[in-house]
Structure 1
């Protein structure tokens, strides 16, 4: 039995299974959708509506940065009054300034949107800033910002499910209620993690993973002392998700389709579940099929539904490309800095040798 489970896990974790599942999903979608009509809809899109939708998407990105930044700065000691002005604090101010956080967020979009790695963006931010304040604090801030955005998504979805209860049915409405309740309990559990698990459990362990988990729990316990930061994070997360839904509505208008925001509020969370499937790369091909199916059920033509699915995939692409440029610039600056340090060291060594001679 153990060998069977090991083989099953190996198969589910195989990259070839994910690639094959993605190709099958895309093939099935292309075969059942009028791609010609979808292409014509995209080509004939009203650039004015599309530009407005991109502006709203940028605002949603700023909201995501604020969700993350307000928790991160709070855990780093930058969210309290009258901080101690020392070298470490100034270093935190430089690393966690809002322009730097926005740049880091855009670079994470490059890893998440343009590279086939679902957690690559979060991993990049953890490695980049974890060396300064600790990986546990970075992971806690990322988890908190994710939970704030997901809670906003859950409550927008619940509101839409109430309005669409005749269309989605009682079962889906109950599911939306459970989703919202789970997110509330997740926040409560995270904020009380140190009390639930107990500090002595972490103190007795010498494993690096548990030490990081201890830092994670202690960071959330620190958030309890800054309830204003939690409130800001959650409120901005809900507002940011609302702006994102509005952006999708306007993207649909750009191709001549009038879709209620309630449809997107219900459909997008369902499509995000497809990213968790083990037989596709980030749910590619599957999430588009799910979205097309839900939009056509709402009365949208198949061609227009496919065009909207493509727009949803491309929504964050411009910001990912901008993040790629920032990442390459950051890499060049680090290389130039390293070369300069080596040159200075060599010059100092030559000067010492000359002085000794």
Structure 2
């Protein structure tokens, strides 16, 4: 009962933070100018942006299938869309990933492998994102704070370390788990599950071509998402080099990993406003772009909600 209460309190807290941040941004915005910007959006670019986002879901499913080749692409695609729905209604993107594990692993003995595939898939996707962001920063013609580059590089190296550290710890970990199962019978199930996770992780690490292709597909996913943002930005009269959109989107995506708000509301807007404002983009245009990006997520979330309703 106490745990449920704590979870509910955390959700209320995150909802409160979202409302406060969004209210703050709107109060510092010329609302008439903001609404005028939305009228500038063209149906063609909206549909093209939505089409690109739809393609990214197919790429994401293809990327996940590399790790789980025994599952149909259509099933993985459906779960990716459903996960978007839960990422919107629950506090934090990681809830969407957890839903994928639950739906795909329900009633299966290989749930540890499925959970590991989701984690590895997420990490390789983030590595692809950070590679795109780092390259974009390098080729930018703007005079930018070096701290942004260091943030991207440190995050990239950290994820690569996390991905491959199982190679370093696999033997002592298995020894520890073996002793745990022997001397602490009440922890035997947990130790066995952790052992299966480590073996699945090691299996993926030994398949270098799959990991390499997964990172490449992750980068392609990000590039198409950025292109969708560029289409919306053009309608809003925001003109930046594609390289700059790469590092901007990478930093926005990193910020969205913070589980502080519902569906990233407030954090997304604040990051877009801060980064674009630094480049001379008025707050109204930056906020309009952020809300448009969120709108694309809502559309895919609605599709995911419908799929979840009919999911069996």
Which TM-score bucket, shorter chain as reference? Answer: 0.7 to 0.9
**Aligned match for 2:47, one of 51, 59, 71:** 51
Structure 2 portions without partners, runs of 5+: 1-5, 182-186
Per mean C-alpha deviation after superposition, the further-off stretch among 24-33 and 283-292 is: 283-292
Per mean C-alpha deviation after superposition, the further-off stretch among 233-242 and 168-177 is: 168-177
In the superposition, relative to structure 1, how do residues 114 and 47 fare at CA in structure 2: closer, same or farther (>3 Å)?
farther
Match runs of 1:249-288 below 5 Å = 249-277=230-258, 279-288=260-269
Per mean C-alpha deviation after superposition, the further-off stretch among 298-307 and 178-187 is: 178-187
In the superposition, relative to structure 1, how do residues 274 and 174 fare at CA in structure 2: closer, same or farther (>3 Å)?
closer
Q: Once the two structures are superposed, what CA deviation does each residue of 1:249-300 show, in whole Å capped at 9, x if it has no partner?
A: 1121233332322333222333334445565334421331121121122122
For residue 129 of structure 2, what is the aligned residue in structure 1? 153
Structure 1 portions without partners, runs of 5+: 1-9, 79-95, 335-357
- Tell me the distance in 2 between the aligned counterparts of 1:116 and 1:178: 26
Measured after TM superposition, the shift of residue 152 of structure 1 is 0.9
In the superposition, relative to structure 1, how do residues 210 and 164 fare at CA in structure 2: closer, same or farther (>3 Å)?
farther
- Count, aligned residues: 300
| 3-state SS, counterpart of residue 68 of structure 2 | helix
RCO comparison, higher one (Cα < 8 Å, 6+): 2
For residue 34 of structure 2, what is the aligned residue in structure 1? 38
Q: Is the 8 A contact 2:59 2:217 kept in 1?
A: yes
**Aligned match for 2:297, one of 316, 321, 334:** 316
Kindly report structure 1 stretches of 4+ aligned residues shifted beyond 6 Å.
none
For residue 226 of structure 1, what is the aligned residue in structure 2? 207
| 3-state SS, counterpart of residue 256 of structure 1 | coil
Match runs of 1:125-136 below 5 Å = 125-130=100-105, 131-136=107-112
Residue 275 of structure 2 is aligned to residue 294 of structure 1? yes
Residue 286 of structure 2 is aligned to residue 305 of structure 1? yes
- Tell me the distance in 2 between the aligned counterparts of 1:129 and 1:319: 20
For residue 348 of structure 1, what is the aligned residue in structure 2? none
Q: Is the 8 A contact 1:50 1:251 kept in 2?
A: yes
For the pair shown, which has the larger CA radius of gyration, 1 or 2? 1
- Tell me the distance in 2 between the aligned counterparts of 1:59 and 1:276: 22
| 3-state SS, counterpart of residue 300 of structure 1 | coil
For residue 325 of structure 1, what is the aligned residue in structure 2? 306
Per mean C-alpha deviation after superposition, the further-off stretch among 117-126 and 58-67 is: 117-126
Query: Normalised by the size of structure 2, how large is the TM-score?
Result: 0.86
**Aligned match for 1:171, one of 147, 166, 175:** 147
